[in-house]
Structure 1
Amino acid sequence: MMLYEKWLISVFLYLALALHPANAKGRYNISFAQLDTCDSIEIDKFAGYAYKDFFMIHTLDNNNILPNERLHLKFYVLTSMDAHILLSVTNHPRPEDRVYEIVIGAGGDTFSTIRTNMGMKRVSTNQDIELLSVYEPTPIEIVQTKDGDLYVYIPGFKKEPLLHYMDPSPLNINYISFSTFGMNSARWFYDCAFDGFTNEMEREQHEQSVEDRLLDALIYRASNSSLPSNLTEVQFNFQMQSLAYDPSSAHLHARMQLMMHWHDDRLRWQPESYGRLVSFEHPLLQIWTPHLVILNGALESLGTALKDFELRVYSNGNVSLMANNWEATTWCVDTERNWPDERINCDIQLGIDQNQVKIALTHDNERKPLAPNEHVNTPSGWTFVKIAVVHVENATTLRYTPKGILQTMSGDVAIGFTLHRNGNFYRLVFAMPLYACEIFLGLSFLLRGYRRGALILIVVMLTAWGLMYLTRHASPHYVPPLMSAYQHIMRASVYCYLLHIAIMWLERYPPRAKAPAWLLSLMNWSPLRLFLGLRISDSTEFCDSQARPWRQLAKILNNGSFIGVNICFIILNTTDISAH
């Protein structure tokens, strides 16, 4: 892209020269033929707001400095807006250091300003617009007097200074640097012979360090980060750090330290030629790296997986990539349908997407994903039982389907996790209220009147509370057995409360009609009374049943329901609860 920017600026220059004679002058009376006598520096649009190249200012042999001046500079710029000039004491100014930052054509070429810190603290502003252009150079002249006055002129625009700042503590300027802002590019011309400013400044020369020489050599050999020849596999290993599963969204969240290794024969070097360096890492290193993709990724993990990593190159051509705190989110659906005792298998499917070139992922078995007795954080109600790395069974050689959908192919791998929910906790929390409700319902048959009704209502409230909290933790995709047990208790409590109302009605407000003969015979049947725990019908009981049959019916209903409800509870405990 930098070559493209240079080509574009050159095209503008050639077009300007082709449309006008070489000695044609623009609104500032500067011709392109005159600029041929200048040195220049280009700032591409990817440089952004950063001062990288610094120039040393010549103060002794600059013939344009007048007796009352500290500094007198003149240069020219081709840009559309945001021409930044930095005057500083050192060549490594910090953000908090005092500097003179001059910006011509800021805000889309709508104003100009002087700032005493990089990016802040304006001390002078001018609202003249359209001072800059990419078709004709804009001259800029800077003068600093010994009294602390800083003047900025645009020769040919007006005689008065464009900007002026009186500094009570003037800086002794030693360096100057140029920059732009955003995606804007610029070309600066300095030390021009035609205006007499030939000894103003000199680009600071830095002797390359061993690391810089090796960095340039590796970037050059990497051939624009192209794929190494004969590369067929990339090895990887990982160290688990945390694992969490969210059944409500069916998401598996994993965090680990991921390392990848491959060989690039182009990146070999002789350690003796580079200060005996046998390994090298640098944030500006530009070499080929695998485009790792998560094939079953969800949310932000869909597609490209490696976003923040470190590279280390070895003198024998081996390359290591390490991603600390690498996070992945994948889909994993709970199909067990036996909450809270699910045991499910989830995985993270990984592959390399390299323009239909098959590059296999191979797990380095020498390093296990878990060291002995290593603790892995599990910030959810699940623990993992087993980790395994397997190859994905898929014979296709295409990374994308005909519809452009990402798919698995031969050479991909899956990191599999076997997860088990911590069911003991949920059973303890939700099963104990069930047992308490069963006991309360059993005791309610021994009470009479309003105390019985109150105890049954307590059971209804406990059951409703348990169901309410159960829906917050259980899977909403099916009805778990424990929820069915709550439903049975709820039905039993409703039946017991209706029975309580019926018994109170039979005892206190019995029907006036006589009981049918078959009902009297049934109530006096000895086997039934023996089964229900009632006294065998003698002459006294017989007379009582004949006189008050509905009270006897209430006793039979109460005792029969007590036995029936307890039988239901026994079946429930042995099937729905104890099965867990």
Structure 2
Amino acid sequence: MTTTVPANAATMRPLIVLLSTFTGLQLLRGTMSSDVIPSNCMRLTTFNYHYTPTYRLEALDSDKNSPGFTFRFSVQAQSDAHLKLSSTPDAQKSPVTIEIVLGAGANSFSAVRRKPKKTAVDLSNNTPLILSKTEMRSFTLILNGELLTVYANSSSLPILSYEDSSVVDMSYISFGAWNNVAVEWSFDCKDAEVPESPPLDPVLRLKRTYWSRYDPFNPPVLDNSTLTVDVSLSLIHVNLNAKDGIFTMRGKFEVEWRDQKLQWNPEEYGNIGVLNFKHRVIWMPEFELLDVPKSESTILEDRSVRLYHNGSAKWTSLGNVETWCDVDVSDWPADQHECHIHIGLRSHPDTIQLKFAQSPNMSTLETTGLEWEVISITSDENILIGSNETQTQSFKLHITMKRAQTPFMLVFFIPLFVSFGVLMSSYIIAPQHKCRLALVTSCIVVLNLLLIFEDVMLPALPQGTPRIMKITSCLLVMAVLQLVFHSFNAHLVNLSSPAPSMVKNMAKKSWMKYLHQGAHDTLFSEDITDQDFHQFDQADDCQTNLEGREVDMNKYHWALVSRALDMVTFLLSFFILPFLLSPM
């Protein structure tokens, strides 16, 4: 049997295909089309990664006849529309929060993020172009028991489906965005008429115009030009821990540059000529301290910046710097050091040029009660370090400072001068007198304590031995030698054996009169006259009579030797010690 096809069937087939295609396009349009938002809806705008105060979900429930909560809302944004669910009005106090992100990753996927996390990987789903920056897109959030679902534009299948025991406790919702992203929200549409929202704020309109394609992580330059960053520094406080070799500095940094991508006419935006930012909304140079083992991401504390309509950006912040310093304490406590601070940028060395706008200001430096005095501070600019792939644009500060000597002179040098004077004055005391040994012993104790204190104050491994330690050590050696000589001289005075003939012959010389006086003082503590000296000169016996006193000539000769040794050691101490200390 043969089936006959009507003649008009062939002509109907293209029409059927055309109608099917049109119907599919209409369905697709119904899924992605924007909704007309009535004027009686709540509206708000979020900008940057901040959340609004929370709204109670029960008050926003669109379907009170169904179990759980049904929240319908509309969004207009280029990407990153954020919702946060919490169990308490203050989201920060909520034990668990659930963050829903629509159009994350440059409007390529959507995600659900639980804090604290239960799994290492968040729930996400590819949703390309789910949001639009030119039209509103509608969504529905449903919380039913432990299940959370999100539907886009009345679609039959959810774009996100998340199940967790904490969903039951979620009672509050807040709205947010991402850095440099503005998101418009519309929700809680009621039958009662609500006044329309006022015109868009000029600041928000300005941000939406210039920040929609702005990248705060790349230098704002056009046509591959160079961005000049001017830096000025006002010193507030400097200190050097010479024992550990650590230099610290606190100062006020003033940084200026021109953002070529953010320039507007104030008359077109409500006469707004200046914008203040607390967060990284625009590009800002990231300074790092180089040549140290550990460095924070930035050395500046405040991240506030002022942006003017001509693109000029000014950033003023206090900064703390701590770095190593090579310490040479050879001249301690009159030492002088030059410390170096190496500050640079870890990115874009070919685009950014660091420049010191003026010499560092030292008029603001603290000057009272400080251990160190700054002599000079200079800078080197445009230093490139590293390989071609990891080059760093940097500048280096050279700070020269010297120690305030007055307190150290009082603490260290006065005991040294007093000890030296006591050691020299001990020669006027008779060798056999106990006070002489007591003075020298006291000096030895003081010098030992001073040497220990100096060792505590100085670095563990200095580059050179400090001069003051050499002086203290030499005085200590001299005091010990004096103690030995004084003890030996005291022993000589008490000898009764005959002295060598050379001593006897020299004792008869006329120029030995002063030594005779010393020997006489040693034995009698009285002045010797010329007649007495003549009697000693003519005496050959072991005993002689002087003014009715019996004098043992052997002891007298040893007393002469003792006074001669005293004179020699005194001259050596007084003249040779300064000579030995001079090259130190």
Normalising by the smaller structure, the TM-score range is 0.5 to 0.7
Say yes or no: does 1:311 pair with 2:305: yes
SS at match of 2:264: coil
Q: Aligned-pair distance for 1:499? A: 2.0
Structure 1 residue aligned with 2:436, among 440, 452, 455?
Answer: 452
Q: Aligned-pair distance for 1:330? A: 2.9
Aligned counterpart, 1:568: 573
Q: For residues 164-203 of structure 1, what are the structure 2 equivalents within 5 Å?
A: 176-177=172-173
Question: Based on CA coordinates, which of the two structures has the bigger radius of gyration?
Answer: 2
What is the rounded CA distance, in whole Å, between the counterparts of 2:97 and 2:316 in structure 1?
44
Aligned pair in 2 of structure 1 residues 555, 65: CA closer, same or farther (>3 Å)?
farther
Aligned pair in 2 of structure 1 residues 566, 480: CA closer, same or farther (>3 Å)?
farther
Aligned counterpart, 1:211: 203
Say yes or no: does 1:538 pair with 2:534: yes
Structure 2 residue aligned with 1:469, among 421, 441, 453?
Answer: 453
Structure 1 residue aligned with 2:251, among 224, 247, 256?
Answer: 256
Say yes or no: does 1:140 pair with 2:132: no
Aligned counterpart, 1:85: 86
Aligned pair in 2 of structure 1 residues 205, 451: CA closer, same or farther (>3 Å)?
farther
Q: Aligned-pair distance for 1:234? A: 1.1
Say yes or no: does 1:386 pair with 2:376: yes
Q: For residues 304-453 of structure 1, what are the structure 2 equivalents within 5 Å?
A: 304-306=298-300, 308-324=302-318, 326-335=319-328, 337-357=330-350, 359-365=352-358, 369-371=361-363, 374-377=364-367, 380-391=370-381, 399-401=385-387, 412-445=394-427, 446-447=429-430, 448-453=432-437
The farther-off stretch of 50-59 and 435-444 is: 50-59
Aligned counterpart, 1:239: 234
Structure 2 residue aligned with 1:505, among 491, 512, 523?
Answer: 491
Paired AA for residue 556 in structure 1: V
Q: Aligned-pair distance for 1:413? A: 3.2
Q: Aligned-pair distance for 1:379? A: 6.6
SS at match of 1:313: strand
Identity %: 17
Paired AA for residue 140 in structure 1: N
The farther-off stretch of 204-213 and 463-472 is: 204-213
Paired AA for residue 219 in structure 1: W
SS at match of 1:565: helix
What is the rounded CA distance, in whole Å, between the counterparts of 1:293 and 1:562 in structure 2?
66
List structure 1 segments (4+ residues) > 6 angstroms apart after TM superposition: 135-138, 161-164, 204-207
Aligned pair in 2 of structure 1 residues 399, 206: CA closer, same or farther (>3 Å)?
farther
Aligned counterpart, 1:112: none
Aligned residues of 2:235 and 2:365 also touching (Cα < 8 A): no
CA deviation string 1:553-572 (max 9, x = no partner)? 24433454245335523554
What is the rounded CA distance, in whole Å, between the counterparts of 1:413 and 1:511 in structure 2?
81
What is the rounded CA distance, in whole Å, between the counterparts of 1:455 and 1:60 in structure 2?
95
Aligned residues of 2:334 and 2:403 also touching (Cα < 8 A): yes
Aligned pair in 2 of structure 1 residues 385, 361: CA closer, same or farther (>3 Å)?
same
SS at match of 1:266: coil
Q: For residues 154-169 of structure 1, what are the structure 2 equivalents within 5 Å?
A: none
Q: Aligned-pair distance for 1:430? A: 1.5
Aligned pair in 2 of structure 1 residues 309, 224: CA closer, same or farther (>3 Å)?
closer
CA deviation string 1:56-93 (max 9, x = no partner)? 65759956359xxxx963589xxxxxx953464xxxx5
Paired AA for residue 488 in structure 2: A
Aligned pair in 2 of structure 1 residues 179, 450: CA closer, same or farther (>3 Å)?
farther
Aligned counterpart, 1:17: none
Aligned residues of 2:305 and 2:316 also touching (Cα < 8 A): yes
Aligned pair in 2 of structure 1 residues 313, 135: CA closer, same or farther (>3 Å)?
closer
Aligned pair in 2 of structure 1 residues 479, 555: CA closer, same or farther (>3 Å)?
farther
RMSD of equivalent CA atoms = 5.1
What is the rounded CA distance, in whole Å, between the counterparts of 1:329 and 1:72 in structure 2?
57
The farther-off stretch of 453-462 and 529-538 is: 529-538
Aligned pair in 2 of structure 1 residues 436, 289: CA closer, same or farther (>3 Å)?
same
What is the rounded CA distance, in whole Å, between the counterparts of 1:525 and 1:451 in structure 2?
32
CA deviation string 1:195-223 (max 9, x = no partner)? xxx99xxxx99975433343444433533
Aligned pair in 2 of structure 1 residues 462, 558: CA closer, same or farther (>3 Å)?
farther
Aligned residues of 2:246 and 2:323 also touching (Cα < 8 A): yes
What is the rounded CA distance, in whole Å, between the counterparts of 2:167 and 2:308 in structure 1?
55
What is the rounded CA distance, in whole Å, between the counterparts of 1:486 and 1:497 in structure 2?
16
Aligned pair in 2 of structure 1 residues 471, 218: CA closer, same or farther (>3 Å)?
farther
Q: Aligned-pair distance for 1:259? A: 1.2
Structure 1 alignment gaps of length 5 or more: 1-34, 40-46, 77-82, 106-118, 120-128, 143-156, 165-172, 181-190, 192-197
What is the rounded CA distance, in whole Å, between the counterparts of 2:174 and 2:284 in structure 1?
33
Aligned counterpart, 2:149: none
Aligned residues of 1:226 and 1:287 also touching (Cα < 8 A): no
Aligned pair in 2 of structure 1 residues 302, 413: CA closer, same or farther (>3 Å)?
same
Aligned residues of 1:236 and 1:364 also touching (Cα < 8 A): yes
Aligned residues of 2:276 and 2:307 also touching (Cα < 8 A): yes
Aligned counterpart, 1:73: 69
Aligned counterpart, 1:520: 504
SS at match of 2:69: strand
What is the rounded CA distance, in whole Å, between the counterparts of 1:261 and 1:133 in structure 2?
41
CA deviation string 1:293-313 (max 9, x = no partner)? 3334x3554775446432211
What TM-score comes out, normalization by structure 1 length?
A: 0.62
Aligned residues of 1:383 and 1:421 also touching (Cα < 8 A): yes
Q: Aligned-pair distance for 1:317? A: 0.8
What is the rounded CA distance, in whole Å, between the counterparts of 1:354 and 1:517 in structure 2?
91
Q: Aligned-pair distance for 1:414? A: 2.8
CA deviation string 1:289-346 (max 9, x = no partner)? 22323334x355477544643221110011122222x011233323473222223333
Aligned pair in 2 of structure 1 residues 350, 491: CA closer, same or farther (>3 Å)?
same
Q: Aligned-pair distance for 1:285? A: 4.0
SS at match of 2:212: helix
Paired AA for residue 286 in structure 2: H
Aligned counterpart, 1:485: 471
Aligned pair in 2 of structure 1 residues 135, 474: CA closer, same or farther (>3 Å)?
closer
Aligned residues of 2:54 and 2:91 also touching (Cα < 8 A): no
Aligned pair in 2 of structure 1 residues 488, 569: CA closer, same or farther (>3 Å)?
farther
Structure 2 alignment gaps of length 5 or more: 1-30, 36-47, 73-83, 99-114, 126-140, 147-162, 177-186, 519-527, 544-551
Aligned residues of 1:482 and 1:576 also touching (Cα < 8 A): no
SS at match of 2:261: helix
Say yes or no: does 1:220 pair with 2:212: yes
Say yes or no: does 1:292 pair with 2:292: no
What is the rounded CA distance, in whole Å, between the counterparts of 1:436 and 1:520 in structure 2?
38
Paired AA for residue 338 in structure 1: D
What TM-score comes out, normalization by structure 2 length?
A: 0.62
What is the rounded CA distance, in whole Å, between the counterparts of 2:320 and 2:308 in structure 1?
27
Q: Aligned-pair distance for 1:517? A: 2.1
What is the rounded CA distance, in whole Å, between the counterparts of 1:135 and 1:309 in structure 2?
33
Aligned residues of 1:85 and 1:179 also touching (Cα < 8 A): no
Structure 2 residue aligned with 1:267, among 262, 269, 280?
Answer: 262
SS at match of 1:429: helix
Aligned pair in 2 of structure 1 residues 501, 263: CA closer, same or farther (>3 Å)?
same
Q: Aligned-pair distance for 1:419? A: 0.8
Q: Aligned-pair distance for 1:178? A: 6.2
